[in-house]
Structure 1
Amino acid sequence: MQINPYLFYDSNCEAAFKFYEKVLGGKIELMLRNAEGPPEMGTAPDRMQKIMHARMSIDGEVLMASDAPPDHFNKPQGFAVSLTVNDPAEAERRFKALSEGGSVNMPFSKTFFSKGFGMCNDQFGIPWMVNCPLED
């Protein structure tokens, strides 16, 4: 069995995935637009270029997402995407990149349980936790 995060965006999935590709070193494997779906889907003309399904690989892990229809989008809450990075400097770099244009809930710093840990919301509203564990 495999469990993967599936994120819903407020019409900015493509921008978010291009951002993650850049700052997390991910590789976009699929970016399926509504226009590529069957005509019977009945997609509104202004939603044709929005993302129906996206898939990204990041260091062997998979992140999936789509643009939620406007009447189905809810602000993300009650979860965070957790990123574990073994090198403290690299963990801090990724935390700073993810939090740029967003908000920091807990600044990245050493804790009793890690070499570095921080919590933020990225510029797309997605909550992240970046952790550099004590053990390698």
Structure 2
Amino acid sequence: MTPDPDKFARRARALYLEASRQLDPSTAERLRATRRQALAAARPAPHRFASRVLLPVGAFAVLALATLMIWQPLRRADSATPQAASTAQTADADVDLPPDADSADPQLYQNLDFFDWLAANDTSSRSTEP
């Protein structure tokens, strides 16, 4: 016959409470102090980790930031030529687009029927098709 675990736990708790009531107050205080010391010794010291690891990492981050701050203006002066080239490429791409109706030459819109006929009778694209 196996004993009931709940019954065993209740009996152990009752014995613990009875023994703690009969304990001398000075002995109880010494036990609490010893318990606090053991728990404090078991905890790792967080400030030691911070000073050993985070301090060098922070110094490296500051050094990297200072390097980037100094290097950035030099890079901007050198990159002026590629920006001009990209602006020229953008201007060339704008030429490929049709002009706006407000800024276009009005004579361009006079013979729209001719341009429709030209698009419909375009022989150069038909000759390349199989």
Please confirm whether the aligned pair reaches a TM-score higher than 0.5, indicating the same fold.
no
From the two aligned structures, give the one with the greater strand fraction: 1
Q: What TM-score do the two structures reach when normalised by structure 2?
A: 0.13
Task: Give the greater-gyration-radius structure (CA).
Answer: 2
| TM-score where L is the length of structure 1 | 0.12
